[in-house]
Structure 1
Amino acid sequence: MSSEASSDASSRLAPGLYIVAGPIGNLSDLTPRAAEILRLADVVAVEDTRVSAKLLRHAGSDRPMIPYHDHSDERVRSRLVDRMAGEAVALLCDAGTPLISDPGYKLVRDARAAGRAVTTAPGPCAMIAALTLSGLPTDRFLFMGFLPNKEKARGDALAEVMGLRATLVFYESGPRTGKSLAAMAGVLGDREAAVAREISKTFEEVATGTLLELAERYADNAPRGEIVIVVGPPSDEPVAAAEEDVDAALLDAMARLPASKAAGEVAKRFGLERRALYDRAMELKEG
């Protein structure tokens, strides 16, 4: 075998799926290993070819791209899994690590079920970056992704985790940021929080304060760019709740839940007696 042929063989990637983390803003954050995979893969599955074309050029890659995103049907996924039998397929999302708040897990699941090799090239992730920037506890945290659009579903999702002693991390869009912060304050209480935007870019910004302070800041001034909201865990200190605050919390909860469940939610939040809150809820309902 010639030295040229030997070199070509050694530069090929083994068949399978390669999960490639891309930058979340600064192209320099692309790791050398990730760049090499993008140069050597037989095909790159991407969310948006226009976005990924810029990154591939930065990596020195001329590999063909195939769209793979939320709206891709099972046939697209099946064809990619079939190709993995003899080719290296790289999976790339628009920013950061694939599978974090995107449908990539289905491709990994089907690849493993078909016996394909799956490899990851770890790198940037907006969730982790925002958590480290927030100054909030990092020993225990929960990623919540995007909250639902509808008010009741949003409140229900927050109520599920209101008693969890962990830092919560959310992805959000600029126009929804103010309303989401206000909803968090209404259900979770006025906790310490941080809003991170444009992470690793020229205009990176992290605003800190309580949820109510941040909700007021962004109520009529929607932030631009990709937003990550980090919310601290509930305080260990008992909440000295004013009567009007308890009533407001009950009314908010009853807009989403039956009175008995609303009383339980508010009791957990304020450390109050559930039966007394149920009686108060019925008074408010009748009034």
Structure 2
Amino acid sequence: MTLPTYPDLNGASVFITGGGSGIGAGLTEAFLRQGARVAFVQRSDATAFCDEMTDKTGNRPLFLQCDITDRAALVAAIEQAAQAHGPVSVLVNNAANDQRHKLEDITEDFLDWALAINFKCYVTACQAVAPKMRAMGRGSIINITSISYMMANAGYPLYTSANSALNGLTRSLARELGGDRIRVNALAPGWVMTPKQLDQWVTPEGLADHMKRQCLPDTLSPDDIAGGVLFLASDSSRAMTGQALVIDGGVVVTG
């Protein structure tokens, strides 16, 4: 897939959570190909991924090892990215964890962890970038959510609850920050065939059932999501805020 080029993203300071694997890896590569200065965080070592991106794009991302549930560590990583690349003008809150669970199995520790990784870190990152975006008089925040909460699926109620909450956060922050030309939008992917999904959740039967729900006959890849994120990050969407963009092959109906 050939993604479009957005000249205003060339040189932009971009910060991505979970930018070294899955959908996040696709987003990192897409921004690097735009000429953006990309910093990303994740828990596992991503040095090999950075080497790969340097070879493929000629543009090396800044990897900052970080547990995003550690508020102080995430704030420090965003500040480090700003020192290296300039104030963050594009924040992509992407990292999340859709670990399966049932209501009767939820403990207090699991509840705290699930909300920390699927919601609280989004709030933290928004708080960390907002002051410098205000000073610049511009910025784009993109919250990656999911169509899962729209589908009434069982098996991960805290994950779907957090995704629903992210839409409320997106709309409220769009209103709160809009006066400073900071745009806040959500993007809800469908079932993207990342290595994690293929390893842990995708079965022939489950995929066949899901594909019956899609209007389009093709499975989704990270590149399908990257195009939407680039659009939301760029000036091409300068009049768009407080919205939820769905890229799912036509599973859910909005509007």
Q: TM-score range by the shorter chain?
A: 0.3 to 0.5
> TM-score with structure 1 length normalisation?
0.33
> TM-score with structure 2 length normalisation?
0.36
Higher helix share: 2
Question: Which is higher, the Rg of structure 1 or of structure 2?
Answer: 1
Q: Tell which has more relative contact order, 1 or 2 (C-alpha 8 A, sep 6+).
A: 2
